[in-house]
Amino acid sequence: MTTSEPVLAAVVARLRGGLAGHDRPGRDELAAMVAATSAGLGQVLGQDDVLAATERIRAELWGLGPLQPFLELPGVTDVLVNGPGEIWIDRGEGLRRMRCPPALSEENAVRALATRLASAGGRRLDDAAPYADARLEGGIRLHAVIPPVAPAGTLISLRVLRSEPLTLSALVSSGSIPPGWAEVLRAMIVTRAAFLVSGGTGAGKTTLLASLLSLVPAGERIVLVEDVGELRPAHPHLVRLEARHANVEGAGAISLEDLVRQALRMRPDRVVVGECRGAEVRDLLAALNTGHAGGCGTVHANAPADVPARLEALGALAGLSADAVRAQAAAALDAVVHVERRGRRRRVMQIAIARRTSRGELEMLPALTADPNDPGSDGETGPGWPDLAQGLEGNQ
């Protein structure tokens, strides 16, 4: 394609104007337009060049532009742009710096791409709203930040979500779940246990939760509440609610807190909050304490022992006292499943139960703890195991 780069740029410019405001043409129609436009510009492209130019133009006008080739690499999970000229990708083996395409060597080009992608995801990105979080076509999650919040240049983070969730057996085979724990996790779904999946950013919380929700019986109705849609469980009766950001005038925002309340009026068998990170934790805990068994969600925490403090902080945002959070969480939660990213592998490292101490504090009592050095081991049981096992057996 090197010999046709100048005409390709001219074709893109010509077609951008001609296609603005019109429905997106199919590949064959666009290929015919590329051929006709290039001929009109004085250069006839061969079939291979027409096809290559068509894909380039699709990426430029509606796709991920110069980042498209990185997203098409086998196994890629993350594509990160750290300002002009710097791109990193993760293909499951840690971050690796890539050669940056010339089209993203200047700040104005990176910012223009970030702005277009945010708009495609229904989000605003400008000086008044210098960061955006959005879901793009194909299940790609976008986060973008522009200067002056990002002083070194526009930042783009793309997370590739799996189109199909990994099965529980696949997670065991990959070493992400200790072999003997699969039946425990399956029993938590069957007995409608209420639980949280905890872990740090990128630890695999969403992957694990999607796998577990895929085990929910087909006759049950799952109402899923998320800020940006990420969870993709394989389930036939899944209802999605997504938060909405404020418009240009600062009005029209719909929070997760609002959506949890709506979810409870939709005859849910299970209410799921994709990520508890605000006042919605109050409504989720209240739901789990008033007959909505089997609810679950994720929460950011570095260890199960940190979950109580995290819940108390989130509860404070909703006006709950620490003692109220402790009482509701101890009564509502049957378990916390903690995942960690250890080197190149994401693993379930502990299952704990929520209990109140004699002093009234909330603690996470370890039930199962994995061996960090032996992925094939079932690890060891802890003081919380008898109560967890009894609860899972007694409700079956």
* Rounded Cα gap, residues 372 and 379, in angstroms: 8
Among the candidates 41, 62, 83, a domain finishes at 62
Please tell me the predicted confidence (pLDDT) of residue 394.
57
Please tell me the predicted confidence (pLDDT) of residue 12.
65
**Residue type for position 199:** G
Domain that holds residue 17: 2-62
Please tell me the predicted confidence (pLDDT) of residue 23.
60
Same domain, 56 and 71: no
pLDDT tens per residue across all 396 residues of the chain: 444 566 666 666 666 666 655 566 666 777 777 777 777 666 666 777 777 677 677 666 667 888 988 988 888 989 999 999 999 999 877 889 999 988 899 999 999 999 989 988 888 899 988 999 888 877 788 999 999 999 999 999 999 877 677 899 999 998 899 999 999 999 999 999 999 999 988 888 999 999 999 999 999 999 999 887 788 899 999 999 988 877 666 678 888 888 988 998 999 999 999 888 888 888 888 888 877 889 999 999 999 999 999 999 999 988 999 999 999 999 999 999 999 987 777 899 999 999 999 888 999 999 999 998 888 889 999 999 999 999 888 555
**Structure tokens, 142:** 């976008």
Beta pairing class for 335-342 and 131-136: unpaired
Among the candidates 126, 160, 194, a domain finishes at 160
Same domain, 332 and 268: yes
* Rounded Cα gap, residues 337 and 171, in angstroms: 14
Please tell me the predicted confidence (pLDDT) of residue 1.
41
* Rounded Cα gap, residues 204 and 220, in angstroms: 25
Same domain, 190 and 98: no
DSSP 311-374: HHHHHHHTT--HHHHHHHHHHH-SEEEEEEEETTEEEEEEEEEEEE-TTS-EEEEEEEE--TT-
Report CA-CA distances (Å) from 201 to 60, 179, 211, 301, 302: 30, 24, 18, 9, 9
* Rounded Cα gap, residues 245 and 243, in angstroms: 7
Among the candidates 100, 132, 160, a domain finishes at 160
Please tell me the predicted confidence (pLDDT) of residue 335.
94
Same domain, 214 and 339: yes
**Structure tokens, 284:** 């989720």
**Structure tokens, 46:** 């061969």
Same domain, 285 and 251: yes
Please tell me the predicted confidence (pLDDT) of residue 3.
43
> Helix, strand or coil for residue 28?
helix
Same domain, 137 and 204: no
Q: What does the DSSP 8-state code read for residue 172?
A: H
Q: Which alpha helices (H) appear in the chain, and where do they start and end?
A: 5-19, 27-40, 47-61, 68-71, 107-120, 168-173, 182-190, 205-213, 256-263, 280-288, 307-317, 322-332, 385-394
CATH number for position 97: 3.30.450.370
* Rounded Cα gap, residues 184 and 170, in angstroms: 16
Neighbouring CB atoms inside 10 A of 245's CB total 18
Same domain, 73 and 54: no
Q: Which residues pair with 133 in a beta bridge?
A: 143
Same domain, 232 and 294: yes
Same domain, 147 and 231: no
**Residue type for position 285:** L
Same domain, 252 and 179: yes
Q: What are phi and psi of 301, to 5 degrees?
A: -165, 145
The answer, as to whether pTM is greater than 0.95, is no
* Rounded Cα gap, residues 177 and 89, in angstroms: 25
Cβ-proximal residues to 141 (8 Å cutoff; 6+ apart), any chain: 133, 134, 135, 158, 159, 161, 228, 230
- Residues recorded for the chain: 396
- Total domains in the fold of the chain: 3
Same domain, 190 and 155: no
**Structure tokens, 377:** 């081991």
Bond before 130 cis per omega within 30 degrees: no
* Rounded Cα gap, residues 299 and 185, in angstroms: 18
* Rounded Cα gap, residues 394 and 375, in angstroms: 30
Same domain, 311 and 363: yes
Neighbouring CB atoms inside 10 A of 334's CB total 22
